[in-house]
């Protein structure tokens, strides 16, 4: 049965979902490819990614306050620009975040049981579906505990880095020669570690007093995570040569290997796996709410708009997302998943900033220059990504647009 969702999330719950959606695979894995691109300028790439993310976050928060319903930028772009750009944004979010779900699940499997990574990922996705179908309050409660475990793991990394021995004892690495393009490419890769704050906006129909709660929660969640990443990244770069980070399968575990706490490297493995599960726990509901919004407007099968009256959840949409993620886990590689996600999600946020241009002076909560910086930043980071990733991501987005055009022509004939 179609219906509306119940508003049940307060300000603190919204911040927990935002932080829990960001502190995941990115902070444990993104340092290696980012270091390979930026070398010793890794932290500059992190700051650039954080600034672009902050601009995007303020645009998302302002728009969510004006349009407090499920769907995120799919809804904002429809209302502020056109239905076409709303579809591009919605499809970009669905593609990007579904790929992110697969990446998170595979990363969790790789850390928790490398020999059976895909089957661990499969089990994790199924368990996440069961938790989410128990209601959003359960999702928030479980997220809190998973986030605590992840933060403890990161705290151990930071403390061990402070008390590390001479980092040159770990590995002699060849210095990485880089330039501005390399720094921008690292920023584009590290954006993957930030792209979780929009989960608060996509759950706008389930937030109490969204006009106040969402603008309050989004920037606080993002700034808190940026500070955390700067601390962790700073310790990693300080103690481990960029060349060593670039070739490490578990870069934060390499930090522990330089310290007197090297015997606790297993804690990082467990913390990374649990953090990925925490992000996955919030990613799937975010994607399902966008499917719900698109189905309500008949741009996807109407069945996806079904809301269970007892649970007040979009159960068909959540189950559908879970099924697609399971297929991707067994067909794509981790690198491919991250690449497709990066192109699609940065496109989504570029449209978010473009929609924020249309806010009136009375509707704005932050200076109008921020969405302009965000739009330029998103386009720049997309273009800086590896050419193969860019072509693949654009092809998937184009396929969604073509399918929509064909569907509209058939419906009119």
What would the pLDDT profile of 124-157 be if each residue is shown by its tens digit? 999 888 877 776 566 667 767 877 888 888 888 8
Query: How large is the C-alpha radius of gyration of the chain?
Result: 20
Q: What is the dihedral of CA 10, 14, 20, 22, to 10 degrees?
A: -170
Q: What is the dihedral of CA 160, 164, 170, 172, to 10 degrees?
A: 130
CA nearest 370: which of 49, 50, 47, 52? Answer: 52
**Which two three-digit tokens encode residue 108?**
């969790």
pLDDT given for residue 332 in this prediction: 84
Q: How many CA atoms lie within 13 A of 404 on its CB side?
A: 22
pLDDT given for residue 309 in this prediction: 77
Are residues 233 and 55 in contact, defined by beta-carbon separation less than 8 angstroms? no
Cα 192 to chain center, whole Å? 6
pLDDT given for residue 370 in this prediction: 94
CATH superfamily of 11-412: Amino acid/polyamine transporter I (1.20.1740.10)
**Which two three-digit tokens encode residue 248?**
């490490």
pLDDT given for residue 167 in this prediction: 46
pLDDT given for residue 14 in this prediction: 78
Residues 374-390: b if buried by 16+ CB within 10 A, e if exposed: bbebbeebbebbbeebb
pLDDT given for residue 203 in this prediction: 62
pLDDT given for residue 198 in this prediction: 65
Q: Give the separation between CA 90 and CA 404, rounded to whole angstroms.
A: 12
pLDDT given for residue 172 in this prediction: 46
pLDDT given for residue 82 in this prediction: 94
Bridge partner residues of 133 (DSSP): none
pLDDT given for residue 277 in this prediction: 80
pTM above 0.75, yes or no: yes
Q: Going residue by residue through the chain (413 aa), what tens digit of pLDDT does each one get?
A: 455 566 667 777 778 777 877 776 668 777 888 888 888 888 999 999 999 999 998 898 889 888 877 677 888 999 999 999 999 998 998 888 898 889 888 888 887 888 898 999 999 999 888 877 776 566 667 767 877 888 888 888 888 888 765 544 444 445 566 788 899 998 988 887 887 766 666 666 677 777 777 788 888 888 888 899 999 988 888 888 877 788 776 778 778 877 777 777 788 888 888 878 877 877 888 788 888 888 888 888 888 888 887 777 888 999 999 999 999 999 888 777 877 888 898 999 999 999 999 999 988 888 999 999 999 999 999 999 888 878 888 888 898 888 777 767 766 66
pLDDT given for residue 327 in this prediction: 94
Are residues 341 and 98 in contact, defined by beta-carbon separation less than 8 angstroms? no
Q: Helices marked H in 240-366 — which ranges?
A: 242-246, 251-257, 265-296, 315-329, 334-356
270-296: pLDDT as tens digits: 888 887 887 787 788 878 888 888 888
Distant-in-sequence, close-in-space partners of 55: CB < 8 Å, separation ≥ 6: 353, 370, 371, 373, 374, 377
Could you tell me where the beta strands, DSSP code E, fall in 4-91? none
Q: Give the separation between CA 393 and CA 340, rounded to whole angstroms.
A: 5
pLDDT given for residue 115 in this prediction: 86
């Amino acid at each position: 049965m179609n219906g509306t969702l119940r508003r049940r999330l307060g300000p603190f719950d919204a911040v927990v979902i935002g932080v829990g959606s960001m502190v995941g695979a990115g902070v444990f894995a993104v340092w290696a490819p980012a270091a390979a691109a930026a070398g010793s300028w890794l932290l500059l790439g992190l700051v650039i990614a954080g600034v672009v993310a902050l601009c995007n976050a303020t645009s998302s928060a302002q728009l969510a306050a004006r349009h407090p319903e499920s769907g995120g930028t799919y809804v904002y772009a429809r209302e502020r620009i056109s239905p076409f750009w709303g579809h591009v944004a919605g499809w970009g979010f669905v593609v990007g975040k579904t790929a992110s779900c697969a990446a998170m699940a595979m990363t969790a499997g790789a850390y928790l049981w490398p020999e059976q990574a895909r089957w661990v990922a499969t089990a994790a996705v199924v368990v996440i579906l069961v938790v989410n179908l128990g209601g959003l309050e359960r999702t928030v409660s479980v997220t809190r505990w998973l986030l605590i475990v992840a933060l403890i793991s990161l705290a151990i990394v930071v403390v061990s880095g402070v008390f590390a021995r001479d980092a040159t004892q770990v590995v002699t690495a060849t210095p990485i020669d880089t330039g501005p393009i390399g720094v921008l490419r690292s920023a584009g890769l590290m954006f993957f570690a930030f792209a979780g704050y929009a989960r608060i906006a996509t759950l706008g129909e389930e937030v109490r007093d969204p006009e106040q709660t969402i603008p309050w929660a989004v920037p606080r969640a993002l700034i808190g995570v940026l500070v955390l990443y700067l601390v962790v990244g700073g310790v990693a770069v300080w103690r481990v040569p960029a060349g060593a980070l670039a070739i490490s399968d578990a870069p934060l575990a390499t930090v522990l290997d330089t310290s007197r706490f090297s015997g606790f490297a297993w804690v990082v493995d467990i913390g990374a796996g649990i953090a990925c599960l925490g992000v996955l726990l919030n990613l799937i509901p975010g994607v399902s709410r966008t499917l719900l919004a698109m189905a309500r407007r008949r741009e996807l099968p109407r069945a996806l708009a079904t809301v269970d009256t007892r649970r007040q959840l979009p159960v068909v949409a959540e189950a559908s997302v879970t099924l697609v993620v399971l297929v991707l886990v067994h067909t794509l590689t981790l690198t491919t998943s991250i690449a497709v996600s990066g192109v699609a999600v940065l496109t989504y946020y570029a449209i978010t900033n473009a929609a924020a241009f249309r806010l009136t002076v009375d509707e704005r909560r932050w200076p109008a220059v921020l969405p302009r910086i965000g739009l330029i930043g998103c386009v720049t980071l997309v273009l800086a990504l590896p050419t193969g990733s860019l072509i693949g991501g654009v092809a998937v987005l184009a396929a969604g647009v073509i399918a929509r055009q064909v569907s509209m022509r058939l419906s009119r004939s």
